[in-house]
Structure formats: C-alpha cells, structure tokens
Chains A and B, each alone.
With several copies, the nearest count.
Chain A
Amino acid sequence: MKFEIETISYLNEDGEIRDGYQKTISDDLLLQAYKIMLQTKRIDERMVTLQRQSIVTFAMPSRGEEASTVVSAAALKPQDWHFYQYREQGAIFMKGFTIQEYCDHMLLNVDDTAKGRQMSNHFGKKELNAVTVSSTLATQIPQAAGCAYAQKLRGEDAVTMCYFAEGAASEGDFHAGLNMAAVTKAPVIFYCRNNHYAISTPSKDQFAGDGIAPRGIGYGMKTYRIDAMDAFAIYDTVQEAREYCAAGNGPVLIEAMAYRIGPHSTADDPSAYRTDDEVAKWEKLCPIERVKKYLIKNNLWSEEQDLEFYNALIEEIEESIAIAKAKPKPGIDSMFNEVYSDIPWNLQEQYDFLKEFTKEESH
C-alpha cells in the first residue's frame, strides 16, 4: 500500500547534466526558451515597479517558475490549447503573446485583449488558443477537460495544457476535472505547479499526502513528478506526455516542483509568513541560471551575447510600456456590449443612461 513517485531531474544548479542523459530539446528551441525566460523575469520585475508607481494596479511575479512555465510551453505545438491559473505569463510568451500585447493588457488600455474588463495579469488570446485567465481558482481544470474532449471529437493532433498550482488543487473542481478527463480519455496534460505556497499557506496546511502526484494514480492517470527548476526534465516530460495524450491514451498529470520566490502578488508581503533564508536557498537553484550555464558550457551562448540580448530586451520592454501608457482606456460601450451575443433592452437603457449622465456630470 506504499509507492514512490520519483522526481525526474537531469540538469543541476551548475548547468551539468546527469550521467548518460541525452538532451532532446533542440539547441535553437533551448536558446529561444532561455530568452523568453529572461524576458519573463525582466517583465515581472518591471510590473512590480510599475505597480508601486500606480501605473499598473496589480501584478503576480513568477520568479522561480520561469522554466516551469516557459519550457513546458516550448514542448507543445501551436495548435495545442493552454488554460492558465495566472502565474504562467512565461507560457503565453512562449506561445507567441508579444511584449506589447502583454503591456497593453497589464495597463488595461484599449488594446487589452480582455478590453480592460478584468484585473491585470489575466492574459489570454483567442488566436493563440490561449484561454483568458479567470481569477476563480481551479475552474479551468474541468474546462480544460472539456476543451480536450472537443479535440478528441474532432480527431485533431492537438492536446490541451492545463496549468494550475498546488493550492488550487484543493478545490472541488480539481477532482471534477481530473476524473472527467480520465473517464472520457480526453487529451489533456494537467500541469500542477507545486511552488510550496498558496499566498501565506504552506503545503503542510494544504494537504497531508505526498504532494499532488499520487492523486493522479487514484484517477488511473499516467503521472509524473519533475524538478521544475530543470528545463530538460520539464521539456522531456511534457513532450512525452503530449505524445501519450495525442495518441489517444487519455490524460496525464505532471507535478512540477518549484518554489514561489517572489511575493504572491503586489498585494502580498511574504516576510509575514516565511524567512529570507528559506527563499535564499531556492534562489540558488535558479532555473534560468542553470540553462545559461549549460548554454555557455556547451558554447551555444556567451556572456557577451547575453548582455547584448538583455540590453535590447530592456529597451523593447520600456518602449512597449511607453506605448501602452499612451493608449487610452476602453470606452464605456465596452461595459455593456459582449455581456450577451446581443444587447437586451435593460442594458441598452443603462448604457443610454450612463452616456447621458456622464455628459451631464462633465458640465
């Protein structure tokens, strides 16, 4: 009545691979993922600053989980769908969401894909099959199962990637989604970012078992646990999972072990519930540094190239922020349309009232 779920790990903190490991990710893709990880880290930092300056109202940095999000997305195909929790900006960047699109969203301007209707950090884009984030935890899990079932009905070579974290895995919707996917053999990868905290709540208050992975076995589901500070473990596992799903074998659960190095969000102060020492320990395991070391050791990248790339990146980000700042916010019509496929009389009445009232008030 006991079993072990091993943690898959190939690349260590010094950028060295385990004996006998054969890298499967191409050099090009690895480099691209590395760049997106740097981009994610830099944008996260900037958004935190912009929040302090009241330019954005809210941000959720993903420090520590850049490989987990970016490289998992790198192992997927463009036709695959993504469902996010919220801390997966890295994944949507990898999928093709541009820096400008991200800034427009974060600043909730007229070009925000969500039309300024949600909080910041609720990205998404239809053309990318990247489903818009919703704040309600875990609701995307059964939705991802249904989306994957649609792919199965169509017989497509496509899978659904469902991101969520260990705290959200306590919700009833987690159970609902995993069980329904297992029963319907829907091609979905449930990718659980176990980052040890849910706001202030440590894992020991979240569950009593050995993490999230053993639950997969309970649903009769193929299950992996990976070191999610290790780009190679992530890539190989997600690729394997994708093949397994796409071949019609049903869903997969991956528990991706990392750590939320930053605060939960710009509204959070983690010093109230954990020590700097604990954080420092994880900082040292940085998933981006590992890849950088590997790249340099293997002559795929150099410090000079790195500096050059980083400077250009900073410039692009600042430009995008400036452009985003200059754009107006959406008009008040965006409050009333797209609630339904049409505009019923009560919304029309209310829109007319507000237009008139705003005019009156401005006199």
Chain B
Amino acid sequence: MKVMNIIEAVNDALHLEMERNDKVVVFGEDVGGFGGVFRATKGLTDRFGEPRCFNTPIVEQGIIGFAMGLAMNGFKPCPEIQFADYIFPAYDQIVNEVAKSRFRSGNSFTAGMVIRTPYGGGIHGGCYHSQSPEAQFLHTPGIKVVIPSDPYEAKGLLLASLRTDDPILFLEPKRIYRASKCEVPLDDYEIPLGQAQVAREGKDLTLIGWGAQHHQNLEAAKKAEAMGIDVEVLNLRTLNPLDIDTIIASIKKTGKCVVSQEAPKTMGFAAEISALIMEKAFLHLEAPVFRCCGFDTPFANAHEHEYMPDSPRVIKAIKDTYDY
C-alpha cells in the first residue's frame, strides 16, 4: 500500500501492465520522454523504450486510427488524448471504426484499446479544457466507457480495462488528478468493469454519479444527513456496461433519485439513467428522478464556479426531491 494521487495510480498501472504484457503500447501528444502534460506516462519511455512509449504528431484522428491498426494486428494500444475536448477530431475513427470493427468484420478484426483522456471542468479551462464528453460516446454500440473517481479505482479499473478485449474510453477526472489521494496497493489488482460501487448506504434517496462529481455527491450526502435525509450514494465507475441491477435495487429501496453529472443536462447520461429507472422501477418511484447537471451552455471560463453542479446544488436537488 502506498498513498498515491490519480496521476501516480495511472502511472503505476501503466508500468505494471507494460511489464506484464509486452503488447501494450502507449503514445500520444507529448506522451514520450516528457511523460505527457499531466505526466501520467512519466518514466515509461525510459523503462520500456521509445518503440513502446512515444510522442505522436498532433493529430487525434491519426492517433486513434494508428491505435486501431496496432490492435487489429495483435497489440494492445493505450493512446492518450491530451484533453477530452480534443477527442472530437478522432470521433469518426472512434464511433465509426473502432467501435464497429469487431461487429462489421464478423469478429475478424477487433480493436481492443484503452483511450485515456483527462476530462471535466474546474481548472480554469474555458470552453476547451473543461468538457465532459461521456454522453457523446454512449449512444455508440461497441465502445465501453469507464470513469474512475479516485486513485484506487484509477489503477484497478485501468488494469481491468487493459485486459478487456473491447475498445474502452477511459475518462480521467483531471480536476482531482492530484487532489484525490488514497492508499493504493502496489500489487496487481482489478476492479471489474460493469459494477457500480455503493459508496454510502442510505434509505431515503439514491444519489448517482461518477468521476469527480462523485465527490460532490458524497459531500452533499454528508450534509443531507444533518438535515435528516439518509442518502444512498452510487458511484458508477463504468457507464457502459451500466450496472443496472445495483441502480434498480437501490431505487426499489429508496423510491427517490437524483442523478448528478457535470456535463450539460440535455442528452447527458443522466437522461438515460432517468429513463431506465422509469422503465424498470416506475411503481417504486415516489418522486421524479431529478437531474442535477451542468447547464446547457458551453463552459464559460469566468463562471466555471457557477456552472458546476457542486455540492450545494446537489443538496438542493436532494431536498427538493425528498420533499416532492
């Protein structure tokens, strides 16, 4: 066990897996010797050589296409996109190519890879260093989406992802890259994909979140307790496949639900969760599922504090839903 932050945990997982599996190749903008702008790949080139950890030209569509070719030919690429906001030039390669490759080739050419990218607001990043694009990938069959919320999860989920034969979008909450710290085993371990964590048990209301937002949710749940509301907090960890059983079991217990996400409300993943809960637990619902989200605007730098659905806003959502 060692206290690590998320960056260190990611770095540790990459070292471990590159050692174990010589098919893992890491690359991206500034990812080589320098170790990436957040330094998540630091030391990999020194340890494993430039052929296995290297800088690419600045061309996200090329990075992902290149990764797909490596994957088809037996390697396990782990490309980094420098910021999630810059994943969109690669959107075609991801949703049309990587995601569909296994299916459309009749299981002949698979594209298992882990695309790592820092996401989310709160670092004075304005319109283009703040976005949370998970929803834009969840409509596309064929790609799994994983989001850790702390260093322990970052390492365990990254190792599990690197051992899954599917394309995985691995979104890292950059706002808490260094702020989130906890004990992390130095050994190998996996956190299975598709299983949500019941981070806090409660009987009055279910609060669902993922990534950095999960910490706002935990804080809100603690404050809600003082107001006499016993909140169950779910930390999804994997958005696709979704752990529907854990969600529905919780709703059946509490009858009330708030889903909280940083991304804009409209067509965010909270919408899907809300719709699923209605479909599968309608008769248990005592109030409408409440979506506490970012606003339907681009991310304004000067107002990033106001933009974020932070714990005070989550608390209000909890209260309003509880009192419905």
- B89 contacts A173, CB within 8 Å? yes
A132–B297 alpha-carbon span in the complex (Å): 18
> In angstroms, how far is the closest chain B Cβ from the Cβ of A335?
5
Contacts of A272 in B (CB 8 A): 34
- B129 contacts A135, CB within 8 Å? yes
Contacts A114-B105, A142-B69, A340-B144 given; does A200 touch B34 at CB 8 Å: yes
| In the assembled complex, A141 has its CB within 8 A of some CB on chain B | yes
> In angstroms, how far is the closest chain A Cβ from the Cβ of B319?
11
Interface size of B by CB at 8 A reads 83
Q: How large is the interface on A (under 10, 10 to 19, 20 to 34, 35 or more residues)?
A: 35 or more
- A338 contacts B106, CB within 8 Å? yes
| In the assembled complex, B282 has its CB within 8 A of some CB on chain A | no
| In the assembled complex, A361 has its CB within 8 A of some CB on chain B | yes
| In the assembled complex, B43 has its CB within 8 A of some CB on chain A | no
Contacts of B137 in A (CB 8 A): none
Contacts of A112 in B (CB 8 A): 106, 302
Which of A137, A139, A332, A334 is the one whose CB lies under 8 Å from B65? A139
- B106 contacts A117, CB within 8 Å? yes
| B-contact bits for A327-363, CB 8 A (1 contact / 0 none) | 0011010111011110011110010001001101100
Contacts of A167 in B (CB 8 A): 57-58
- A124 contacts B105, CB within 8 Å? yes
22 contacts between A and B (CB under 8 A): A57-B124, A117-B127, A134-B100, A135-B129, A136-B128, A139-B96, A139-B97, A142-B93, A143-B65, A146-B68, A147-B72, A167-B58, A179-B62, A180-B59, A180-B63, A199-B29, A200-B55, A273-B33, A338-B102, A341-B110, A346-B241, A354-B295
Q: A134-B97, A173-B65 are in contact. List 11 more A-B contacts (CB 8 A).
A: A142-B69, A143-B66, A146-B70, A147-B69, A171-B58, A172-B59, A173-B92, A273-B33, A339-B103, A339-B298, A341-B112
Which 10 A-B pairs have CB atoms at the shortest separation, nearest pair first? A146-B69, A142-B65, A176-B62, A116-B302, A170-B57, A135-B128, A147-B69, A146-B66, A200-B34, A150-B73
Mark B residues whose CB is within 8 Å of A: 25, 29-30, 32-34, 37, 51-52, 54-75, 77, 85-86, 88-89, 92-93, 96-97, 100, 102-110, 112, 124-129, 141-142, 144, 164-166, 194, 240-242, 244, 265-266, 295-298, 300-303, 306-307, 312-313, 316
